[in-house]
Amino acid sequence: MIFPAQTLPWLLTHELRLTWRRLLNKRGPAWRAPVLIGLFLLAALAIGGPLGFALRGIGLSVTSTTIFAGDAAMAVFLLWMLSQSLAAAIEAFFTRGDLDLLFSSPVDPGKVMVVRCLAIATTVFTGFAIFVSPVMIPLALMGHAGWLALYPILAATALTATAMGLILASILLRLLGPRRARATAQIMAVALGGIFFIAGQLPNMVGFSKLKAWVIAQPPEPRNAGHLAMTVLAWPIRAFSGDVGSLGAMLMMGAFAFSAATLFIGRRFATDSAAAAGVASTPTKKRDAASSSFAGGIVVLTIRKELRLLGRDVTLIATVLFRLVYLVPLALILVRNADQHVAKLVPIGVGTVTFMVGQTVLTLAMIMIAGEDSPDLLGSSPAAAQTLRRAKMAAAILPVAMVMAAPLMILMVLEPLPGVAAVGGCGAIAIANTLIAARLQKPAPRAAFRRRGGGASLTAAMVSLLISGLIAAATGMAAAASIFALLPLILAVGGLAVINEIKPASGD
Amino acid sequence: MTIRDALGFRDALVVRDLCKAFGKPAVDRLSLTVRGGEIYALLGKNGAGKTTTLRMIVGLLKPDAGEIRVFGVDALVDPRGAKQIMAWVPDEPMLYDRLSPLEYLEFVAGLWGIEPKTARDGAETLLKWLDLWEQRHERCEGFSRGMKQKTALAGALIHDPRLLILDEPLTGLDAAAARQVKDVLTARARAGATVIITTHILEVAERIADRIGIIQRGQLLAEGDLAELRLRAGEGKGTLEDVFLELTSDGAAPAK
């Protein structure tokens, strides 16, 4: 390496080399890379292109509206990034990897920590940079090159979010202890990720009229756009529209926050990390509330085992919660629309909720069916593989069924036809997605599913999107009493018949 | 009918011409017989085909050719029937980190369809026997290697198998845990069960095994008790290690 050993750049180069090699080793099907590039280009053509064309020649002026919009966008980015950095920061304390080697060497633990934190910030930034690129690159090519300032803005935000995530993770560790801190951080990360979706749905849930009345009821605030433009609040929009001073200030603020955070937790990093590592090696004294009964057949015992394993794995709970954060508000909106007899919206709501039920069940089914930690135990037992698979499918459906039972029953009472369609659609989509998980998801250790989206097979996910889309469309149409519901239904059934013929990929 | 058959002895495991290839042969026309009630040690160098053989016997791998009979049950025709009377303990314990030993045994007993009362009593006996009773409500995630291995062993014994197959059961165990596992195996054999183990700790095989099979390149090189193996290796008073090294040196011919 070109840098002197034990220095910060030397460690950073080592970390980047490892990251690069991990990426290179992450093999997938041969078609994955072309498909992802194709999707990127498609998004650029479908969204970025038309947007760039529409905004040609339009400048961005700093007004109270654009300042507010810029701040709102920044808040969204910051919260989303914080949700990721918090989860990554807490894992940085728990994941040993090469920490034992590094901490047992004479390298300053503070440097190790800074490098780990930089890796978190880089990961958070890269994800968002890729996310906005299909829009930003066409915009830049069509006359708004200055708007590429969004990238350094994102970098500054990533540094700030990483700083916040690190401090929050460290405080949680000290206040709650390693085990509870990890659980709390993971659930907080999900809540932060979903908060803007829920906020965005507030008008739908509360009702536009009520929200409008509430906003109007607030006393008018004297606004002085000129004064506002000179404040910190205007930095995001000013930076975006090319003001180097604001951009520099944001970058400096991000760098300062990051440095302060690393200084704040730097000295404690090795201690906190060692404390977190101790959790896994110390036997727990906690007693289980439910005593083992040894009763029930293999189906009941398998369902019980799966629900126990899920309920005790906070990371997996967070993964499932991440889905439910989107599903539950949608279900509430659906019930509200049915209650107010908004006839046109109910079928759309039924279709959307059905789709989300399918995706939630898919997540659970992938974890429970493919994420089996003891495939050899099941394989060497005389229990029929099909029975075990069906029990696991039932276990995957059960939690979602419990969450959805009440809204669907209310819907059936308020709007019988859409209610029946929704119950049928949700049942069908749940079964379809467990089948997809059983047939197409490759086995992986359960730990692989602990990362959000981790372990999931791209093929299973894509097929699920297609089949779920068809079933959701059929359900929505059925809710609207349309005979055309049969068309997507037949296509979905045909697709599932083909999938059913595939030999299960899971090793159970 | 042989004298052994007439006296009611029955072979626990009969393997005939077993073959499995992963590109190149891993198990090559392997034949061996394990008698009921004995402890049989299957030895071989790394990559000799021991684990592949055992995984085919317990139904986790499908052989390319050959025959496997477990107490007369054709394991390839009636795998569930064969599995019902077998138990398998791999080198890495098959546990669920977030289940307690008691919950693990509850699930395993369900897999083998054991009556709840029998399973509950059996679990208590086994956990007490293996010194895990105090930890019965603790999750396995914090267990040491030895505790995990003992929990897995309890899971293998909960359905009282007639044939117990263990792959490297003593790897990574401290002296006390290793002793406990060995005691369990000999006690099961004394109680009439048949035990097959693979191990690289040849002293263990020498001390507890009734008969020893040595495989190399997927073929049975030699089989018998220590005296028979010594004779075959020309090692008059050598240890099992001497015999093993002599027999597995290049140029040794497979057993007939």
Q: Got the DSSP string for A388-430?
A: HHHHHHHHHHHHHHHHHHHHHHHHHHHSHHHHHHHHHHHHHHH
Query: Which among A33, A196, A293, A436 is positioned nearest to B110, based on CA atoms?
Result: A293
Higher pLDDT, B105 or A293: B105
Tokens representing A440 are: 């197409």
Token duo for residue B153:
């062993």
* Chain A residues with CB-CB distance to B113 below 8 A: 298, 382-383
Contact A376 B60 (CB under 8 A): yes
Residues listed for chain B: 256
Cβ–Cβ gap A283/B119 under 8 Å: no
Contacts of A296 in chain B (CB under 8 A): 110, 116
- In this complex, which of A293, A305, A376 lies closest to B99 when CB atoms are compared? A305
* CA contacts within 13 A on the Cβ side of A444: 18
Which residues in chain B touch residue A379, judged by CB atoms under 8 angstroms apart?
58-60
Q: pTM for this structure?
A: 0.69
Q: Quick one: residue B113, left, alpha or beta (phi over 0 = left, psi -120 to 50 = alpha)?
A: left
Question: What is the reported pLDDT for A421?
Answer: 93
**pLDDT reading at B138 higher than 70:** yes
Q: Using CB atoms within 10 A of its CB, is residue A231 exposed (0-12), middle (13-18) or buried (19+)?
A: exposed
Q: Which residue of A has its CA nearest to B101?
A: A292
Share of chain B above pLDDT 90, in %: 54
pLDDT for position A471 = 95
- A195 touches A112 (CB < 8 A): no
Residue B68 pairs in a beta bridge with: B15
C-alpha to C-alpha distances, A340 to A366, A411, A479, nearest whole angstrom: 37, 11, 16
CA B124 to chain centre: 24
CA distances to A80, A88, A215, A475 from A76, rounded to whole Å, are 6, 18, 21, 33
Q: What is the pLDDT of residues B2-46, one digit of tens each?
A: 555 555 557 999 999 999 998 889 999 999 999 999 999 999 999
ipTM surpassing 0.90, yes or no?
no
Report the pLDDT value the prediction gives residue A507, as an integer from 0 to 100. 43
CA angle, B53 as apex, B87 and B157 as ends, to 5°? 10
Which two three-digit tokens encode residue B90?
């791999």
The predicted structure's pLDDT at residue A284: 44
B18 DSSP β-pair partners: B30
Taking a C-beta distance cutoff of 8 angstroms, is the pair A50, A132 a contact? no
Angstroms from B3 CA to nearest CA on chain A: 33
Residues B180-223 pLDDT 10s: 889 989 999 999 999 999 998 898 898 999 999 999 999 999 99
Distance of CA A484 to the CA centre of its chain: 34
Complete DSSP assignment for B120-152: HHHHHHHHHHTT-GGGTTS-GGG--HHHHHHHH
Amino acid at A98: D
Q: Mark yes or no for CB contact B110/A288 under 8 Å.
A: no
Q: pLDDT value at position A285? A: 46
Say yes or no to pLDDT of B164 above 50: yes
CA separation for the pair B73, B79 (Å, rounded): 8
pLDDT at B248 over 60: yes
Cβ pair B217, B60 in contact under 8 A: no
- CA–CA gap between residue B1 and residue B24 (Å, rounded): 38
Cross-chain residue pair B117–A294, CB shorter than 8 Å = yes
Q: Which of A283, A298, A374 sits opposite B143 (nearest CB)?
A: A283
- Let me know: does A457 contact A442? Beta carbons within 8 Å: yes
Residue B90's nearest CA partner among B26, B149, B140, B146 is B149
- State the average pLDDT for chain A: 80
- CB environment A89-109: b (16+ within 10 A), e (fewer): bbbbbbeeeebeebeeeebeb
Task: Compute the nearest-CA separation of A506 from chain B (Å).
Answer: 13
Bridge partners, B40 (sequence order): B196, B211
Mutate which of B94, B124, B143 to disrupt the A interface (most A C-beta within 10 Å)? Answer: B94
Contacts of B146 (CB under 8 A, 6+ apart): B172, B173, B174, B176, B177, B178
Instruction: Convert A329-339 to b/e letters by CB count within 10 Å (16 or more is b).
Output: bbbbbbbbbbe
Report the alpha-carbon distance of residue B193 to residue B34 in Å, rounded.
12
Mutation for testing the B interface, residue in A294, A314, A368, A449 having most B CBs under 10 Å? A294
Contacts of A12 (CB under 8 A, 6+ apart): A115, A118
- pLDDT tens-place values along chain A, 508 residues long: 577 777 888 888 877 777 776 666 555 566 667 777 787 778 777 777 888 777 777 777 778 778 888 888 888 888 888 888 888 888 777 765 666 667 667 777 777 888 888 888 988 898 888 888 888 888 888 878 888 889 999 999 999 999 999 888 888 888 887 777 777 887 787 777 777 666 666 666 665 566 555 545 544 444 555 666 677 888 888 888 888 888 999 999 999 999 988 887 766 666 666 666 555 444 444 554 445 678 778 899 999 999 988 888 777 777 777 777 777 777 777 777 777 766 677 888 889 889 989 988 998 898 888 888 888 899 899 999 889 999 999 999 999 999 889 888 988 888 889 899 999 999 999 999 999 998 888 887 787 776 655 566 778 888 998 999 999 999 999 998 899 999 999 999 999 999 988 876 544 4
Tally Cβ neighbours within 10 Å of residue B105. 28
Give A-chain residues touching B139 at CB under 8 angstroms. Answer: 284, 286, 312
What residues contact A231, with CB distance under 8 A and at least 6 apart? none
Place of tokens 């692989």: A448
Q: What is residue B86's predicted lDDT score, i.e. its pLDDT?
A: 92
User: Parallel, antiparallel, or unpaired for β B24-35 and B11-22?
Assistant: antiparallel
- Inter-residue contact B163 to B71 (CB < 8 Å): yes
List of chain B residues whose C-beta atoms are within 8 Å of the C-beta of residue A503:
none
A5: left (phi over 0), alpha (psi -120 to 50) or beta: beta
Question: DSSP per residue over B71-132, as a string?
Answer: TTEETTT-HHHHHHTEEEE-SS----TTS-HHHHHHHHHHHTT--HHHHHHHHHHHHHHTT-
